[in-house]
Structure 1
Amino acid sequence: MDLELRHLKTVRAIADAGSLTKAATALGLPQPALSAQLKRIERTLGGPLFDRGRHGVRLTALGELVLERARVLLPAVRELQEDAVRLARTRDGAAGPARFRLGGTHGPLLGGLVDRIATVFPGHPVSTATSWSEREITGAVRQGRLDYALIGTCGEAPPPDAGRLAWAEVGRDPVFVMLAENHPLAGRTEIGLAELAAASWADVPGDGCFADCFTAACVRAGFSPVTVFETDIAACVHLVRVGRAAGLCRATFPPTPGLVTRPLAGAPLHWRHLLGWHPESPAARTAPRAVAEARLAHAEAAQLNADYRRWLRGHPGFGPALTVPA
């Protein structure tokens, strides 16, 4: 195995965190995967980089050398990337047809935005990239590999790269609970979180604070979640449909045979949909229209869910954002 920049980032993350557990959380990786990756790095470099102990990890002499070089190399490479992207934007930004390279986390809005952009800008190329990681998507925008990031954040949490990218709010949704249509609570118009204290849960993964906020909301409701399955949307739907779990979903989740979505009493969790772009990129020229189309896509998704339409009438602080940036 050849040593790569991502390996140096891993070493730096472990050293900064002081433990594999904390580093795995920061990197959005399971701890066993991080441990295996560290072993491969150490084999490549010829020896252990950390001494493991009950209270965390401590750098070895070899680890000190590698970390010292990493702290020089990683900022230098990032600066090189940013300078190259800035030069490319200066070269490409003056003329040429608009392009729309859209990046998004898994959710119902990306397809709607692609459809609207392709309709409003016929003949202009549209491409997509998806990831469960908001950081990965925003990093690609920052580096010039994508034009727009369509992501979500839990509550009022700032998006990744908040200081480097321009952001506009697309909409704000409560988090609904997804149940099998034959679930005992499926006929209710609203469900208290505590009523599902004995349930297992299903949700898609992410690298924001949603998992912690969900656990905190459960604790406030008087219980700790039994099990949380973090998996892709199709698996979440399957687990809910067969009665294995209750699902957590945005209120814009489309109607699905065999399932119902219901609001949680008091809206203990909510989700902000955001569109981001680099302010010095060609995408900044078309950003106001892209934001407007994203908000229309959100409004269309909300209209498809009759329960959400009814809920919105009594909760004016949610739904599509109304203003468009100049």
Structure 2
Amino acid sequence: MRFAAFLPLLLLAACARPAPPGVTILTYASPYSPNHPFSKADQAWMAFVEQKSGGRLRIRPSWSGALLSSDMSMEELRHGVADVGLITPIYARGGTHLLRIQTGFYSGADSIEAQLALYRCIAAANPEIGHELEGLKVLAVQGGSLAGVVTTGRPVRSLTDLRGLRLRAPTELLTVLESLGADPVNMPMADVYSAMAKGVIDGVIAPGDTFRSLHFAEVAGYYNTLAIPRGAYPARAMGMARWNSLTPEQRAILTQSQGVWEAALSREIVAAFDKGMEEARKSGVAISGVPAAEQRRFDALYLRDAAANARALDRFGIDGMAAFRSARASVRGKNYIKCAPSQADATGARKPASETL
């Protein structure tokens, strides 16, 4: 996309009220409303930054997609449309091939803490991750609750029941769902509610929090708790040019804030899952599982397809299998925790080692 396309947004940002003397204001942009669980974590981060800086570094939020788009946010941040923003490399239109595919390497990393640590292992072992994030300073990595199968008019009680269903799914699940006879599509989560309500799709691969946070309990009738692994990815970032314009003291505060932001995201994700499942039960969503043999079959298909997707990156000149092998070796040996030793900051939050990207 040409820079001219960003000009109206840049002019909008320039019209914002000026900062008081001695105060630096950073704009923060998110596609979510201020009441979304992700946004509540964002607000905890904002409060920490302001408190830690003594009010000299403040965050001015822009919610509900007013400033950044879902699929171009990384490029928009590089061009300074906002200072800090929520990014989704898995939806980016190009240039994030390994970031997309590596989210399918997480089978066995079932907690958010394990997901974040495994991401850091993958990033440390595979320089391509850094290349795909060029021009950005990562401020937080995000994992999530394991997903299940949300459907509108037809229950899923076995893998066979997936046949013929048109499901929104993340990139790393497209081929495994196709092999099971489903018709998977990829779209931003913000578009899923209307797509289900209109019958454009039959359901979505999503965790239980979405029954409340995205109001899926209003349009879904069924939820299967098939445990679908969840990958981590860089989810909050700052344009590198803006990062370099800050003082060393300001950069130190933002570096320290990473652990606070990631801990707040983890808390909100766990709380949101519990609230979402409660909402599903209250709304009459029928909840079921799959037999253990079916879960094992799915896990095997998941890893088979993850390896195939990794090999397919050869066409982009990316050694995806090296990334896949490093991830699986870390999971098998439970070595991923060593990639991100933690320390407690002054707030008591668990803080990962310094981000190198």
Give the TM-score normalised by the residue count of structure 2: 0.46
> Greater Rg, structure 1 or structure 2?
1
Give the TM-score normalised by the residue count of structure 1: 0.49
Higher relative contact order (CA 8 A, sep 6+): 2
